[in-house]
Every structure is written in structure tokens, then in C-alpha cells.
Amino acid sequence: MNVLVLNCGSSSVKFQVIQTDDALIEKDSDLCLAKGLIEMAGPKTMVTYQATGKPSSKENVPIADYRAAIEHILDWIISPQASLEGIKSHSDIHAIGHRVVHGGEKFQDSTLIDDKVLAAVEEFIDLAPLHNPPNLKGIRAAMDVVGPSVPNVAVFDTAFHATMPETSYIYGLPYEYYLRHKIRRYGFHGTSHRYVAYRYQKMLDIPTDKVNIITLHLGNGCSACAIKRGVSVNTSMGFTPLEGLLMGTRTGDMDASILEYIAHKDNMSLHDLDTLCNKKSGLLGISGFTNDMRELLKREAETHDKRARLAIDIFCTRLKRYIGGYLAEMGGADAVIFTGGIGERSSAIRRRVCQGLECLDLLLDTSANDHIGAGEEGLITREDSKLKAYVIPTNEELLIARDTYRVVSGQSAQVR
Ligand code: ADP
């Protein structure tokens, strides 16, 4: 089955075309035929496309909205420039898989999109005002463009965390806030945590109920997940993606009373405070110059910039705290997995996170850590380390394609 995977954000549409079916999944040899990105900026919209094995190309195409973006993608996919194997017309795209950030408590699995699902995703706009509206616009546009003969499937970031116990998802607020307003931990990045847990299981060739790990997704957004017997039992992002680890521009954990204090001191509105915590804080806010971990590491090395160092140190310390906390909560685990742009590519950050974790029986193999290549997965702890650490590159699009295939062919998607 050829699946178009769409990730519609507030100012971009990312896509991949992936060929998958039971036999390909079994052999782990699903094929990514092409990928691309539309950075929406009206008349200045930039489109990047890449057919696998060919150089990428970039062009400026004025694109007004999601419908135009999806039409553009579909036209490129069947074009002679792309010349994707087995794709000659739109009817060769058999299904579309959509990343949807918030599925509330309703969606515990990926699901075929119909009017009821659309209405529910719309209802959750309240919970995810930045993310669900573009996701929904993308779904509606795609359904409109391809018509009823092509099934559309929603894959939710929150779904993997549906297995968390109440002790993980209920906040210390009066319980009625959960009952009345559904205020609870939902967790995000679920597709990424689920994917790396699946790869770990494959790598070790063990059954799902033997997967006891802590996964660390470290990108611009960062989250940790405690996975016990193969399912999520806790995660660091909460009611929104603001909670938990220090991130590129988000505070992560912080005393909520600070907000009222700043509001009075600086005469700031709730909206201003939300912007402050989500867009101006984290690595950017502490360092005062960037949210980009590469630049921070470079600045720290070249100029010994104190605030760059502080931002990185806080980032790593908070990771240690979550690893230790989850180990205690889970009654121990077998491995810590690093993924996401920082987790996959920065041996320096992995080293700084692992330093001091000898007390938890995690013994880093510094040579393995330094030599793991971009896109490679592998072990980075010593043979005698009881708590192992691995680098496993994430691939959310692949899981979205597989879920789409499984849902369309009537199987349960949560099987990985
Ligand atoms: P997103 O969450 O937007 O998908 P990514 O997973 O691509 O983002 O991660 C982006 C982060 O990864 C940025 O902070 C970037 O600086 C960092 N990063 C990418 N490559 C490296 C590297 N070689 N060393 C350190 N950080 C890196």
C-alpha cells in the first residue's frame, strides 16, 4: 500500500510517501519513496521535495492554504520530475495518514477518520489550540482533494500514553477539575516513544512485556517516557507540551505561582505569560541568544560563555532527574534510549547526561558514544553496565504509515 503521510503544522506541511504492507513490516523494509516540506508564507512559500535516491530540490511556489498545499504535493508525487516507482496517478496513493497532536481521552489508538472523528478532533481544539486547528485543516483539505475513495487515518501523539495510571495523570488540583474540565496529564511525542520502544524490542528480539525502558525524545520539544512492560506508564509533558524537561523555547517544570508574580510585576496578560513560557524560555531564555543546541555547544566551547553553559547544564541535570525519578517509579528499568535531533546527534549531551549515573549502574562507553554515526542505532554503554543506554533514531512517519495501513486493512494499530 502507498501511504501519503501528512504532518500539517501552523506554518508548514511535511509529507512522506511510504510503501508498506504486512510483508514489508515483517522484514522492516517499508520503502520511503519521497519526502518534502512546504513552508507556508503566502507568496513566499518555499517547497522542498526529495525523491529517495535523488538530490532534493527547492522552489518558491505561492501557496495560499492547506488545500492548495496538498494539491501541490499530490501533483508533484505523480509528476515526471518525481518519477516515483509505481506511482503514476493519484489513484496510486491508497491512503493518507495524518499526524494529530491531541486525541484527548477518547482516542487510545489510531483511527479511520469519519465525521464523528472530525467532530471529536474539533472538540479537542480547546485542549490544543495551537496544534489541532492546523491538523484539522489538513485533514479536511486532504479529504476534499482526494474524495471519499481514499481512506484517511488519524495517528494521535497522545494515544500511546493512554495506558498511564491515574497516579501519573492526575494533578494535585481538586479532583473536580479533572471531572469538569478534563485537566490531566495527556503526554505528547507518543508516536516517537512508541517507535523507539519498538526498535529496541526488535533489536533485542524480546517480547513486548519485557520492554522496560526510559525513552528520551530530545528535539526542539523534549519529553521523557517511562515504558514498563511495553506500555507508557508516565511521561514528562503534561496537559500541554509545556511541562517537564527544559526545551528549546519552553520552560518545562516551573512553580506555577511564578506566573501570578510576573503578571503583577511586569503587568503582563495571560496571553503574554503563555508566550513567555512557550516561546521565549528554555535554552533560548537562559542563554539569551539561541534555542539551537548546536550553537550553544559551539559557543560554550569557543568562548566559555557562562549562560550557554548554564542552559546546557540545566538541560542535562533535568534529564538526570527524570531518569532517576522514573527508575524509582518503575522499580528499575533495563535501558535509557536517546532519540530526536539532540539525542541522536549530540554525543556531548549524551555524555553529560550519563555522567554521574554510575550510581544507577549506567556505565557509558565513551568510544561507542562518540563513534555512533548520524542515523545509526546502537548501544553506547559498556558490557558490564547493568542499565544500558542506546541511541535509536526516531521515525514517526514510518509508524504513521504502518498504522494507516493497519487501520485501513482492519487490524489494530497499536501492534507496532
Ligand atoms: P524538532 O523537534 O523540531 O523535530 P529535531 O528533532 O530536529 O527538532 O531537533 C532539533 C534540535 O537538535 C536543535 O536543538 C538542534 O540544534 C539539535 N541538533 C541537531 N543536530 C545536532 C548536533 N549535531 N549536535 C547537537 N545538537 C544538534
State in Å: Cα 74 to ligand 1 middle. 29
For the segment 132-158, the average pLDDT, to the nearest whole number, is 94
State in Å: Cα 219 to ligand 1 middle. 5
State in Å: Cα 218 to ligand 1 middle. 8
Grid coordinates of 65: 492554504
Catalytic residue selected from 109, 157, 292, 334: 157
CA angle 38, 11, 251 (to 5 degrees): 130
Q: Checking DSSP bridges between strand 231-235 and strand 335-339, what pairing results, if any?
A: unpaired
pLDDT tens by residue, 279-336: 999 999 999 999 999 999 999 999 999 999 999 999 999 999 999 999 999 999 999 9
Stretch (H or E) spanning 234: strand 231-235
Pairwise CA distance, residues 391 & 379, whole Å: 7
For the segment 380-409, the average pLDDT, to the nearest whole number, is 97
Question: Which atom of ligand 1 lies at the shortest distance from residue 217's CA?
Answer: 6
Q: Mutation test of ligand 1: which of 11, 290, 294 has the most ligand atoms closer than 8 Å to its C-beta?
A: 294
- SS3 letters across 98-147: EEECCCCCCCCCCEECCHHHHHHHHHHHHCCCCCHHHHHHHHHHHHHHHC
Task: Tell me what pLDDT residue 254 has.
Answer: 98
For the segment 58-85, the average pLDDT, to the nearest whole number, is 93
**Domains of the chain and any CATH numbers:** 2-156 (3.30.420.40), 206-391 (3.30.420.40)
Grid coordinates of 309: 553553559
For the segment 357-383, the average pLDDT, to the nearest whole number, is 97
In degrees to the nearest 10, what's the CA dihedral of 258, 264, 268, 273?
10
Task: Tell me what pLDDT residue 413 has.
Answer: 64
Task: Tell me what pLDDT residue 296 has.
Answer: 98
Q: Sorting pLDDT into bands at 50, 70 and 90, what band is 145?
A: very high
State in Å: Cα 319 to ligand 1 middle. 16
DSSP secondary structure of 23-78: HHHHTT--EEEEEEEEE--GGG-EEEEEETTS--EEEE----SHHHHHHHHHHHHT
Task: Tell me what pLDDT residue 126 has.
Answer: 85
pTM, rounded to two decimals:
0.95
Q: Is the CB of 221 under 6 A from ligand 1?
A: yes
pLDDT tens by residue, 197-209: 999 999 999 999 9
Q: Mutation test of ligand 1: which of 11, 220, 222 has the most ligand atoms closer than 8 Å to its C-beta?
A: 220
E strands, 132-230, are 152-156, 213-218, 222-228
Helix, strand, or coil here: 207?
coil
Q: Sorting pLDDT into bands at 50, 70 and 90, what band is 135?
A: very high
* 115 catalytic residue (yes or no): no
Residue with the three cell numbers 509545556: 242
Question: Which atom of ligand 1 lies at the shortest distance from residue 394's CA?
Answer: 6
Task: Tell me what pLDDT residue 129 has.
Answer: 82
Q: Is the CB of 334 under 6 A from ligand 1?
A: no
Alpha carbon distances (Å) from 127 to 90, 101, 133, 155, 284: 35, 10, 11, 17, 25
Alpha carbon distances (Å) from 101 to 181, 204, 240, 335: 19, 30, 10, 27
Residue with the three cell numbers 501492534: 415
Q: Is the CB of 342 under 6 A from ligand 1?
A: yes
Q: Is the CB of 345 under 6 A from ligand 1?
A: yes
pLDDT tens by residue, 213-226: 999 999 999 999 99
For residue 395, pLDDT over 90 is answered with yes
Q: Is the CB of 248 under 6 A from ligand 1?
A: yes
pLDDT tens by residue, 95-122: 999 999 999 999 999 999 999 999 999 9
Q: Sorting pLDDT into bands at 50, 70 and 90, what band is 127?
A: confident
* DSSP code at position 360: G
Average pLDDT, the chain: 95
Q: Mutation test of ligand 1: which of 339, 345, 391 has the most ligand atoms closer than 8 Å to its C-beta?
A: 345
Q: Is the CB of 275 under 6 A from ligand 1?
A: no
Q: Is the CB of 346 under 6 A from ligand 1?
A: yes
Task: Tell me what pLDDT residue 414 has.
Answer: 61
For residue 263, pLDDT over 60 is answered with yes
Q: Is the CB of 219 under 6 A from ligand 1?
A: yes
For the segment 87-101, the average pLDDT, to the nearest whole number, is 95
328 Cβ contact partners less than 8 Å away, ≥ 6 residues apart: none
What percent of the chain shows pLDDT beyond 90?
92
Task: Tell me what pLDDT residue 148 has.
Answer: 93
State in Å: Cα 165 to ligand 1 middle. 31
Task: Tell me what pLDDT residue 224 has.
Answer: 98
Q: Mutation test of ligand 1: which of 10, 293, 392 has the most ligand atoms closer than 8 Å to its C-beta?
A: 293
For residue 390, pLDDT over 70 is answered with yes
User: Higher pLDDT residue, 10 or 107?
Assistant: 107
Q: Is the CB of 241 under 6 A from ligand 1?
A: no
Task: Tell me what pLDDT residue 319 has.
Answer: 98
Pairwise CA distance, residues 15 & 35, whole Å: 5
